[in-house]
C-alpha cells in the first residue's frame, strides 16, 4: 500500500502556465509544469517537503554533488486515461529503485510518504499539464543530490530531493539506428551500472557522440570484459525477437532493472510468447539478422516506451532490420502496455495508480 503524505507546505502559482502546452508539438524535456517539490534531508532528518512554483534554484559553488557526483534520478510517467483521470504507471517500482540507487551512491533514502505523496500532490495541482493524445504523457522526474557545502571526499550529510514534471511526446521521431559498442564500456561488474545515477549518463555521452558522428542514433552496450554480450542501450533496455521468441539480457549489477522491461516481459508471457532472460551474444544476433531469424530488435524504457530499431552497426558494417508492422511483437506489446496505462485494457497486473 502506498502511504499518504501528511504534511506538505504548498505555495501555489498565481497563474498557471498550462496554456503553453501544445499537445501536438511537445519537445521532450523542454517545458516544465507550474509546480515542483523540494524536500531537504538535514543530517539524516527529513524536513517538511515544500511544493513551490517551478523555478531556478541557486547553490554554493562548493556543493558536494557538483564535484563528486552523488546525484540520482528516476524517470516515470503519468497519463490521462480514457475516463479523463490522471494515473501513474507502477510508481512504487520507481520508488523502490530510487532508494536502491540511493544506497549504492551512499546517499540518504527517501521516505515513501515524501516520494509517493509528493507525486500525488504535484499531479493534483498540475493535472492540467497531463496531455491526452496517442504517444503523450507527463514525464515525472524525481531526483536527489548531495547538498553539503564541502570539498572533502566523503558521503554528504545533507541531501535535497526534488520532483519536476515535463510534458512528453514520442522520444524518437524515427526508429533509432544503433551501433554495437565494442571499445568503450558503460558499466563493469561491481560498479554502479544498476543505479540510476547521473554519472552513468555523463560517461555515455562521449562514445554516443562518436557514434552519432558515424550516423548512428544510439549505442548498444556490450559487456566490459569480452564485448561479446549485449547489456543495454543508451536510455533503454533491449529486446531481440529470434524465431518468434523474445530474448533480453538478464539483469545484473551492470544493467538497469527497467520497469518497462519488466512490464513487457510479463505482458509477453501472459500473451503466450516465450521470453528468455539470458546472455545474448552479439555474434548470434548479427548472424540472425543476416539469416533472417532475428526479425526485431527494440528498446524499452520509460522515456522511449517501446522503440524498434531500424538497424544495427557492428565493426563497420550496417545490418538493416525488417520494417515493423502492426503484427510485429514490439507493436503488439506496445499496444497492450499503452492500453493498460490508458485504461483501454484490463489492468490485470494491478499496475495503474490513480491520482486522488
Q: How far is the CB of 28 from ligand COI (least distance, A)?
A: 7
- Closest-by-Cβ residue to ligand COI is 75
CA distance 78 to 202: 26
Binding to ligand COI by residue 263, rule CB under 6 A?
Answer: no
The residue among 114 and 168 lying less far from ligand COI, judged by its C-beta, is 168
3-state secondary structure of 250: coil
The residue among 146 and 303 lying less far from ligand COI, judged by its C-beta, is 303
Cell numbers for 327: 503484427
CB 145 within 8 A of CB 108: no
Binding to ligand COI by residue 176, rule CB under 6 A?
Answer: no
Binding to ligand COI by residue 72, rule CB under 6 A?
Answer: no
Binding to ligand COI by residue 217, rule CB under 6 A?
Answer: no
CB 195 within 8 A of CB 105: yes
Q: How far is the CB of 3 from ligand COI (least distance, A)?
A: 24
Question: Cα-flanking dihedrals φ and ψ of residue 119, to 5°?
Answer: -60, -45
Binding to ligand COI by residue 235, rule CB under 6 A?
Answer: yes
The residue among 218 and 328 lying less far from ligand COI, judged by its C-beta, is 218
Helix axes 329-341, 259-270, angle to 10 degrees: 110
Part in contact with ligand COI (CB under 6 A); list of ranges 8-16, 95-103, 149-157, 298-306: 298-306
Q: Contacting ligand COI (CB under 6 A), which of 49, 75, 91, 288?
A: 75
Part in contact with ligand COI (CB under 6 A); list of ranges 174-182, 222-230, 300-308, 336-344: 300-308
Find the farthest-apart pair of alpha carbons in the chain and give their distance in angstroms, rounded: 62
CA distance 22 to 44: 42
DSSP readout, 200-211?
A: HHHHHHHHHHHH
Binding to ligand COI by residue 302, rule CB under 6 A?
Answer: yes
Amino acid at each position: 500500500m502506498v502511504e499518504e503524505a501528511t504534511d506538505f507546505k504548498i505555495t501555489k502559482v498565481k497563474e498557471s502556465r498550462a496554456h503553453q502546452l501544445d499537445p501536438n508539438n511537445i519537445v521532450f524535456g523542454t517545458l516544465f509544469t507550474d509546480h515542483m517539490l523540494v524536500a531537504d534531508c538535514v543530517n539524516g532528518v527529513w524536513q517538511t517537503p515544500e511544493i513551490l512554483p517551478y523555478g531556478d534554484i541557486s547553490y554554493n559553488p562548493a556543493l558536494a554533488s557538483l564535484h563528486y557526483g552523488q546525484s540520482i534520478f528516476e524517470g516515470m510517467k503519468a497519463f490521462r486515461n480514457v475516463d479523463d483521470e490522471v494515473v501513474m504507471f507502477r510508481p512504487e517500482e520507481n520508488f523502490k529503485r530510487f532508494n536502491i540507487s540511493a544506497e549504492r551512491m551512499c546517499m540518504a533514502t527517501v521516505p515513501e510518504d515524501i516520494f509517493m505523496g509528493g507525486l500525488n500532490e504535484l499531479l493534483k495541482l498540475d493535472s492540467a499539464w497531463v496531455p491526452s493524445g496517442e504517444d503523450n504523457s507527463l514525464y515525472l522526474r524525481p531526483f536527489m543530490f548531495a547538498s553539503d557545502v564541502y570539498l572533502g571526499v566523503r558521503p554528504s550529510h545533507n541531501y535535497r530531493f526534488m520532483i519536476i514534471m515535463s510534458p512528453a511526446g514520442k522520444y524518437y521521431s524515427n526508429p533509432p539506428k544503433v551501433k554495437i559498442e565494442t571499445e568503450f564500456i558503460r558499466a563493469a561488474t561491481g560498479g554502479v551500472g544498476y543505479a540510476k545515477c547521473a554519472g552513468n549518463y555523463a560517461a555515455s555521452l562521449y562514445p554516443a557522440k562518436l557514434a552519432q558522428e558515424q550516423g548512428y542514433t544510439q549505442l548498444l552496450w556490450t559487456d566490459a570484459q569480452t564485448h561479446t554480450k549485449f547489456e543495454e542501450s543508451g536510455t533503454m533496455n533491449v529486446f531481440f525477437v529470434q524465431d518468434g521468441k523474445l530474448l533480453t539480457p538478464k539483469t545484473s549489477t551492470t544493467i538497469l532493472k527497467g520497469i518497462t522491461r519488466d512490464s513487457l516481459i510479463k505482458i509477453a508471457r501472459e500473451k503466450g510468447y516465450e521470453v528468455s532472460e539470458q546472455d545474448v551474444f552479439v555474434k548470434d544476433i548479427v548472424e540472425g539478422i543476416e539469416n533472417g531469424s532475428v526479425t526485431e530488435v527494440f528498446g524499452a524504457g520509460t522515456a522511449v516506451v517501446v522503440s524498434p530499431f531500424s538497424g544495427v552497426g557492428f565493426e563497420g558494417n550496417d545490418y538493416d532490420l525488417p520494417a515493423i508492422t502492426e503484427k510485429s511483437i514490439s507493436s503488439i506489446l506496445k499496444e497492450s502496455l499503452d492500453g493498460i496505462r490508458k485504461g483501454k485494457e484490463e489492468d490485470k497486473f494491478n499496475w495503474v495508480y490513480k491520482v486522488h
